[in-house]
Amino acid sequence: MIPSASAATRVEELRRVIHAHNHAYYALDAPTISDAQYDKLLRELQALEQENPDLIVPDSPTQRVGSQPLEAFTPARHAVPMLSLGNAFEQAEVTAFDQRTHDTLSAAGLIDPDEAVTYQAEYKFDGLAVNIRYEQGRLVQAATRGDGLTGEDITQNVRTIRSVPLRLQDQTPDVLEVRGEVFMRRADFEALNHSRQQAGEPTFVNPRNAAAGSLRQLDPRITARRPLRFVAYGWGECMGGPDLSEHAAMLDWLARLGLPVSAERELVAGVDGLIDFYERTGARRADLDYEIDGVVYKVNSLAAQEVLGFVARAPRFALAHKYPAQEETTRLLGIDVQVGRTGAITPVARLQPVFVGGVTVTNATLHNEDEIRRKDVRIGDMVVVRRAGDVIPEIVAPILAQRPDHAPQFEMPTACPVCGSAIERPEDEAVARCTGGLYCQAQRKQMLQHAVSRKALDIDGLGEKLIEQLVNRGRVRSLADIFTLTETELAGYERMGSRSAANVVAAIERARQPELARFLYALGIRHVGETTARNVARHFGTFEAIRQATEEALLAVQDVGPAVSEAMVNFFSEVHNQEVLDALLEAGLQVQDDDTGQQPSDDLPLRDKAIVLTGTLPEWTRDEASRHIVAAGGRVTGSVSRKTAYVVAGTEAGSKLDRARELGVPVIDEAALRALLGH
C-alpha cells in the first residue's frame, strides 16, 4: 500500500512530538503532557502505521515494544575501546592521583605550577555500561562493554529503553558513539520485585542485577517491560561533531542532542574540590532514587586528557572514588586450596553463607599463607567479610573476642590436592606452587581456559565444562590437541549437540591464524600479560624471533624487566613446551607476523623520533600511519612538545597544529611522511 502524502506528513509530525515528550519525561524529568494525552498520540501513530505499513521505520516510537526473540547475542567490536577506570578507596589515593596529574600537566606547560587542575566530578551510577552508536543521527547499534574491545550486540533491547533517543536532535554528527550506564531506579526496582513476587517469580537481588539481567534478555519484549533508564557520561568514536575543548562542554552537547545526562555533575578545582564533592555526595547518597557506588573524577580539558593518556586498560586522566565497601560478619568453616594455571596455590575460605554487597557469599580469598598469618585468621573464627562491587570477596579480619577455644591455625599442604605433586614455595615469593606443571590436571584445565579466552585465541563455545570433560577423558593434554578436535567426537560430549559441535569447530578454524600478540598471551607464560605480549610482538615481529630471543634481547623491549625476560626464556627452553609449540605448528596453526614489529637497527628512518598525528590523513588511517611509524623506529605520541620531531597534519587539524607552530616543530603532510618512510 502506498501511503498518502497527508498520512506521511502526520506520521512524521507525531513522531517528532512524541520524541520531544519522551525527552522531556525521561531525560529532563519534566513531563509536558499527561499520560492520557501521551497515550492518545501514540495510539494515533500506531493506527496510521498499521494502515500504512510502508511508513514504519526502526526509530519510530511504536517500535520500542520489542521484536522477536534472538537465538543468541552476536559480538560487536567497539570502534574505540571501552576502558575501565582505576579505583580509589582512600583519600591518600585521590591526593596521589591529583599530584600525578598536576605534575604531568605542569611539565607539559598546560597549567602553571601553582595552578590547580580543573576536574569534572560526577556520580558513578551502579548499572551496566553500554555503548550506543548513532549514524546520521539514528540509532544503529548498542553493545555491552564486554572485554573492552568486543561486547555483545544488544541493539534490540536498548531500543526498548524510553530514555534512549532513537533519533538525535539538533545538528547531528555523522557518527557518534555514546557511552553510558543502564540502570534502574529504586522505586522502579521495588515495584518490579513486588510484581514478580505476586506472580510467584524469583525476585532480583538489587537494582544493578535487575538492570543487567533485563538488558541481557534474548527476548527484547521482556526487556521492554522492565523499567530501565539510561544516562550518558562519555563518548567513543565521533565524526562530524563540534570542535569542543572541555569534557563538560561535550556532555552539554550530548544533552542538546537529546541524550539524558546527569545533572549532578560539577567542575571542581584540585584535590580539595574532589574530596568536597565526594563527601557532599556521600551525605545525600542514601536519599538518591538510584544506586551509586562512588563518584568519578575526569580532567576537564580534552587536550590535557590526551597528554595524560592511558595506562594498560585505564585512562590516567580519570579516577573512580568508591565509597566504603559493604561488610558483614560470618563464621569461617574451613580453608581449602585452589590450584591456578601457573601452579599457584591460593587458600580459599569456606564461609557460613552471608549476604553482603548484594550477593550471598560462601567463599572468600585469603591470598596466600603470609596473609593468613598476618591477619591471624583461624578456622572457626567469626570474621569480617568485605565485598566491593564485582571485586572477589575477601576476609578483612577475625573478631578475636569471639574466637573459639583451640581454634586451629592453617597449615599449607605439602602435596597438591589435584595431582599429588610436591608443593614448593620459591625463595623471595609469597606464593606456593604445585610442581606438577602440565602433568597437573588443574593447571592444564586452567591453562587451556586461558588460551581459548576472548583476549587470547577467542575460541567461542570451548568453555570450562567442555574443557573439563576433554581433559578428564584424556582427549586434550595440551593446547595442540584442541586443533585436532572434530565435529563428530565433540557431538558425543555432554550438552554438545551437532550444531554446538559445528560452532566450536568453526571457532577453532578461525583461531588457526592468530595475531602474534594474542598467541603469545595465550601461551600463559608467567608475567606475560596483554600489554607485555603486545610490546614483545611489536618489537620482534615474528614468533620464531621471539622463540629464539635471549634475555638480553628481551630486556630491550619496552616495559620488559628481568623477571619477564627470564620467564620467557625459561618457557621457550623447556622441552615439553617446545614439543607443544611444534605440535601446534604441525596441526596447521599459522601465527601472523606483527607488521608493527621491529628489530633494533641503526638504519630505521625514524629511530627514536617522536611523531604526533593530527587531523584526517588523505589515504592512511591513524592506525595505519602509526604502524608504519613504529615499524620505522618512531614513537607516536599524543602531545606536542619541544622534543617532538614532526607533526603530521591532515585536514581539520586542531590545537596540536597550533602548538607545533608555536614551538617551531616541523609540520609535514602524509606525502612527506611517506617520503621519510621510503614509501
Neighbouring residues of 609: CB distance < 8 A, sequence distance ≥ 6: 633, 634, 635, 645, 646
Helix or strand holding residue 433 (H, E): strand 432-434
Angle between helices 35-51 and 5-22 (to 10 degrees): 150
Structural contact between residues 121 and 296, judged by C-beta atoms closer than 8 angstroms: yes
The three-state (H, E, C) secondary structure of 532-589, written as one string: HHHHHHHHHCCHHHHHCCCHHHHCCCCCCCHHHHHHHHHHHHCHHHHHHHHHHHHCCC
Q: Rounded CA gap, 324 and 402, in Å? A: 24
Q: Identify the active-site residue in 124, 298, 322, 445.
A: 124
Cell of 661: 607552530
Count of H helices and E strands in the chain?
25, 24
C-alpha 320/C-alpha 85 separation (Å) is: 6
Where does residue 75 rank: exposed (0-12), middle (13-18), buried (19+ CB within 10 A)? middle
* DSSP code string of 377-408: --TT-EEEEEE-TTSPPEEEEE-GGGPPTTPP
Task: State the Rg of the chain over Cα.
Answer: 28
- CA dist., res. 588 & res. 135, Å (int): 41
211-225 in b/e burial notation, b at 16+ Cβ within 10 A?
Answer: bbebbebeebeebbe
> 3-state SS string over 191-221?
HHHHHHHHCCCCCCCCHHHHHHHHHCCCCHH
Active site residue 124: yes
**How many Cβ atoms are within 10 Å of 4's Cβ, its own excluded?**
11
Which residue reads 607476523 in cell numbers?
593
User: What are phi and psi for residue 488, nearest 5 degrees?
Assistant: -60, -50
Write out the E strands in 458-543.
none
Strands 610-614 and 635-637: parallel
* 376 alpha carbon, distance to own chain's centre: 36
From residue 469, how far is each of 453, 478, 491, 494 by CA, in Å?
17, 14, 12, 8
The continuous run of DSSP H or E covering 670 comes out as helix 670-677
The C-alpha atoms of residue 669 and residue 679 are separated, in whole angstroms, by 14
Please identify every residue annotated as catalytic: 124
